[in-house]
Structure 1
Amino acid sequence: MARFKGLSLFQRLRHRSRVLGRMRRALTLFAPMLVDVVRGRYRPVPWSAMGWMLLALAYLVSPLDLIPDFVMLLGLADDVVVVGWLLTKVDRALEEYRLWREGENVERV
């Protein structure tokens, strides 16, 4: 089996799936977090999550990239990598909100 920096191919793929899960979780939690913050139900405001998401959106719409988009696949790949990395940062910053939300759901039942 191919090895890369001490990890087998299976371990690398499993790690990638966790990263994709974190990206998905960040995207699904960010909008409800904004609603809870605006309505005053959740404090303190997770400014770092908002900052990371703002950077991700700015990178997506900005014409300045690490690799220009006219370089077909590589131009899009750098967008995916950078925005994916930023979304994992958003997910980490939303950890306290996620715990709060899980607690709210338990109390409502």
Structure 2
Amino acid sequence: MSPWRFLTQLSRLKQRGGALSRIGRAFRVFGPMCMDVFRGRYRPIPWAAFGWMALALVYLVSPLDLIPDFLMIIGLVDDVFIVGWLLTRVDRAMGDYRRWKGIDDEKVVVD
């Protein structure tokens, strides 16, 4: 394997790791954010985060997919990628909330 190709592969792995970190953080932060919003502790309401999360949930349970789920593995893979992409958008939409809450953003790669 050439050094250039190795560096390209390493770069792709780091990007995916950053996306996985954002997805995990979206799951960890969304619940507490909802509680702070509903209890009136945090304003303005991050409507974009709620919208992206709703879209991810609707896509996940909807029978309409880009690739039908009856194609077993491939059908589930498109759900994972699309819902994962939507969850990275949820994480981005919660940036102001994370700063307000003091949650560390250093570990996540920013696009």
TM-score by shorter chain over 0.5: yes
Where does the alignment leave 5 or more consecutive residues of structure 2 unmatched?
Answer: 104-111
Q: Structure 1-normalised TM-score?
A: 0.88
Q: CA offset at residue 54 of structure 1?
A: 0.1
- CA distance in 2 between counterparts of 1:40 and 1:48 reads 18
User: Where does residue 109 of structure 2 map in the other structure?
Assistant: none
- CA distance in 1 between counterparts of 2:45 and 2:99 reads 14
- CA distance in 1 between counterparts of 2:92 and 2:14 reads 19
CA offsets, 1:6-47, max 9 Å, x none? x61111111100000000001110010000001000000000
- CA distance in 2 between counterparts of 1:24 and 1:82 reads 15
Q: Structure 2-normalised TM-score?
A: 0.86
What's the RMSD between the two structures over aligned residues?
Answer: 1.6
Q: Are 2:21 and 1:21 aligned?
A: yes
- CA distance in 1 between counterparts of 2:8 and 2:20 reads 19
Q: Are 2:56 and 1:72 aligned?
A: no
User: Equivalent residues in 2 for 1:2-81 (5 A)?
Assistant: 3=5, 8-81=8-81
Runs in 1 of length 4+ with deviation above 3 angstroms?
Answer: none
The one-letter amino acid paired with 1:53 is M
Where does the alignment leave 5 or more consecutive residues of structure 1 unmatched?
Answer: 104-109
